[in-house]
Structures are given as structure tokens and as C-alpha cells.
Chains A and B, each alone.
Chain A
Amino acid sequence: MTDLELLTKMAEGDVSAGRRFVDNHQVNVYNVCYSFLQNEHNAEDVAQEVFIEAIRNAAKFRGDSKLSTWLYRIAVNRSLNFLRDNRKRRFWIEIDSLFGIGGDPGDSKDQGPVSDDDLLEQQEQKLLIGKAIQALPENQRIAFTLNKLEDLPYAEVAEIMQTTLSSVESLIHRARVGLQKRLKNYYSN
């Protein structure tokens, strides 16, 4: 049975097909999310959202690209949206503390598991390599992450990013140069 058939059956409520489909792709989807989010809990959360979106939009998949490429695209978009939301949430937390609503950082526990991970996330962000990758411009970060960390070929990266091959090459080159400078600065200081 093909991946598309499995996905269609999963969307129709076939549990065994769903389990097979998810098991086939969950590692790759999770790792893409993890590469962007650098946090296990958030990566798991977003990976589940990716599969939910895939089930919902199963009928819209036209088969122009590989199903895995389509899943990667959803994973990248979801992860970037999560990061944007997180940035906004942090802004609101700062506003909170400005008005004195937030109180102790421990009080944020009642906001759910995402807030619970803030400390861990902050610790992880202290890793200079992660910081350097996250500091790259968005397109460069996507191209670099998919090619260098996820080991995807340029052609698939171009398909995921819906751009040309030469554009991906240029983005990766700029990302390499940017990272090289950043890493040199970070580790020499």
C-alpha cells in the first residue's frame, strides 16, 4: 500500500493504516521540527500538529511532489509558525512582568506544558551553535537545516521551499558564510 493510500485510509478512520503511515514518517517529521525548535517537547507537539494537518488536507494532496516532501513542507511551516508564536508569547510575558501580573517565573506553570519548557529552552539556546543557526535569516536557516542537518538533497530542499535549485544553492552558500563568521565570533570571545 502506498503512503497516499495509507494517508487516505487514515483520514477515513482506519487505525492500522494510520499507525503504519505515522510510523513511516514520524522520525523524519519530528527531526525536522526538532532542528528548527531545538526543544523535544515542542518538536513532539508540532510533529503531531503536522500529522493532524496532513489528515485534514489529505484530499487536497495532488501528488505533484513526494508525500514526504509535502510533510516536510508542513513541518517547516508549522515549526516556523510555532517560533513566531513563541516570540509573541515571550513579548506578552514581558508585558506581564511589566504590569506585575506574571509574578514569579514559577507561576507560569499553570500556562501549560509549553511554558514549562521555557527554562529548558533557554538552557538549550545557550548552546552557541544553536544560537548561531537560529540567528540566520529565515530562508537561509530553512535551506541550511534541511540540507546540512537533515541531509536532504538540494532538489528536495528546493521543492520543499518552492523555489529554484540555484536559489537554494545561493541560500546555503550565504548560510555557510554567515555561520562561519558567527561561530568564529562566538567561540573566540
Chain B
Amino acid sequence: MNQLRVKQEIKPAMNCREAELLMVDFIAKQTPSDIPAALSEHLSSCSLCMRLYSNCIIDFKVLAAGRRIAPDPGFFDKLSVRLQSRPGLSIHKRKPVRRILHYSPVFLTAAASVILGIWIGSKWFILTQAGIETSNSLSSEERSGMVEAFASEMQLTDESTLALESYFIENENSDNYDAQ
């Protein structure tokens, strides 16, 4: 019974995970009185959570320093100036134009290099085509010789055909002899 009581005293009422979740909930609360008693109790008994909480609070105070608690008296005048100077234009609409103007040298260089590449490519293509045509015309001259050679070969074939014909005719005659 006595041991059980000791355990209850040592163990904090809230575990670290629950405490961390509550810290997140009360991150924006600046005064210690806003923090629930259970969290305060845990923080006083857990140094790790206390350090985490202190860091969060310090950081959040710096971050929240830019928040306003009272209206800025000059806000409406600035808004009026803005409304008068740019009635149909918002800050977001002007950016792309500015960006295009800003990047125009890069885009112009890229476009110029593409056009130059196309021009060089077309020139090279035309020259290559002309070369092919020239080589074709030269071979046509040579081709006449080849044709002649082919014709003579055909002539030989013709002669051989004649020889074969005469051979068969002779054989036919000899066959006739055999038949007789």
C-alpha cells in the first residue's frame, strides 16, 4: 500500500506525449495563466518537456512580434493610394510581364540559337542533296559503259543461246536417226 502511494507520487499525472500535444495547443498563449494546471505540473517535473516548451514559447514570441493589436492609422491612406494608382491591377497580375521582360535576353538567345541551328541544318541538307545529285550524274556517265558491258554480255548470252539451239537441233536430228 505504501509502495503504491510512492509510485503514484513519482509518476507524473500526464505523459510526455500528452504534454507535447497540449504544448502545441497552447503555443499561442503568451501568459502562463492560460496553460492548464496539468501541463504546468508535468513541466515542473519533466526537464525535457520544460526545455521543449521554453524553446517553443521563445520562438513563438519572436514570430508573433509582427502581429498587430491595434489598427495602423496609415493603413487606409496606403490602401486609398493603391486603389487610385492601380484601379484594375493587382500585384500578382504584374509579375509575369515583369518576369518575361526580365528573362527576355535568355529567351531571345535560346530562340536565336534554335533558328541558327535550323538554318545551318537546312544549308547542310541542301549541300548534301546537291552532292548526292552530282554523284548520281557522274555514275550515269559511267553507267553507259556499264550498259554497253551488259549489252555485250547479253550478246554473249545470245550467242550461247544460238549455240545451244544449234546443239539441240543437231541432237534432235540424231534422235530422229535413232528412231529411224
Chain A residues with a Cβ under 8 A of chain B: 15, 18-19, 22-23, 26-27, 30-31, 34-35, 38-40, 43-45, 47-49, 51-53, 55, 81-82, 85, 89, 92, 99, 101, 124, 127-130, 148-149, 151, 176-177, 179-180, 183-184, 187-188
A-B residue pair count with CB separations less than 8 angstroms: 106
With A130-B63, A176-B25, A183-B24 given, is the CB distance from A22 to B105 under 8 Å? Answer: no
B76 close to A18 (CB less than 8 A): yes
- B105 touches which one: A53, A101, A184 (CB < 8 A)? A101
B63 close to A124 (CB less than 8 A): yes
Please tell me the size bucket of the interface on B: 35 or more
B79 close to A85 (CB less than 8 A): no
With A183-B24, A183-B52 given, is the CB distance from A15 to B80 under 8 Å? Answer: yes
Q: How far is the CA of A26 from the CA of B79 in the complex (A)?
A: 11
Q: How far is the CA of A45 from the CA of B71 in the complex (A)?
A: 15
- A27 touches which one: B20, B59, B68, B83 (CB < 8 A)? B68
Q: How far is the CA of A158 from the CA of B12 in the complex (A)?
A: 36
Residues of chain B from 55 to 89 with CB closer than 8 A to chain A in the complex:
55-56, 59-60, 62-63, 66-72, 75-76, 78-80, 82-83
What residues on A are CB-neighbors of B52 within 8 Å? 183-184, 187-188
Q: How far is the CA of A82 from the CA of B90 in the complex (A)?
A: 12
Q: B7 at interface (Cβ–Cβ under 8 A)?
A: no
A-B residue pairs in contact (CB < 8 Å), sample of 12: A26-B75, A44-B72, A52-B90, A82-B92, A89-B95, A92-B99, A129-B60, A176-B21, A179-B24, A180-B24, A187-B55, A188-B52
- A183 touches which one: B20, B68, B72, B99 (CB < 8 A)? B20
What residues on B are CB-neighbors of A129 within 8 Å? 27, 56, 59-60, 63
What residues on B are CB-neighbors of A51 within 8 Å? 79
The 6 A-B residue pairs whose C-beta atoms are closest, nearest first, are A129-B59, A40-B66, A180-B20, A22-B76, A179-B24, A127-B59
A22 close to B75 (CB less than 8 A): yes
B72 close to A26 (CB less than 8 A): yes
Question: In angstroms, how far is the closest chain B Cβ from the Cβ of A187?
Answer: 5
Q: B143 at interface (Cβ–Cβ under 8 A)?
A: no
Q: How far is the CA of A183 from the CA of B89 in the complex (A)?
A: 41
What residues on B are CB-neighbors of A89 within 8 Å? 95
What residues on A are CB-neighbors of B80 within 8 Å? 15, 18
With A22-B75, A184-B52 given, is the CB distance from A38 to B82 under 8 Å? Answer: no
What residues on A are CB-neighbors of B83 within 8 Å? 52, 55
B20 close to A128 (CB less than 8 A): no
What residues on B are CB-neighbors of A184 within 8 Å? 20, 52
What residues on B are CB-neighbors of A15 within 8 Å? 80
Question: In angstroms, how far is the closest chain A Cβ from the Cβ of B3?
Answer: 33
Residues of chain B from 1 to 37 with CB closer than 8 A to chain A in the complex:
17, 20-21, 23-25, 27-28
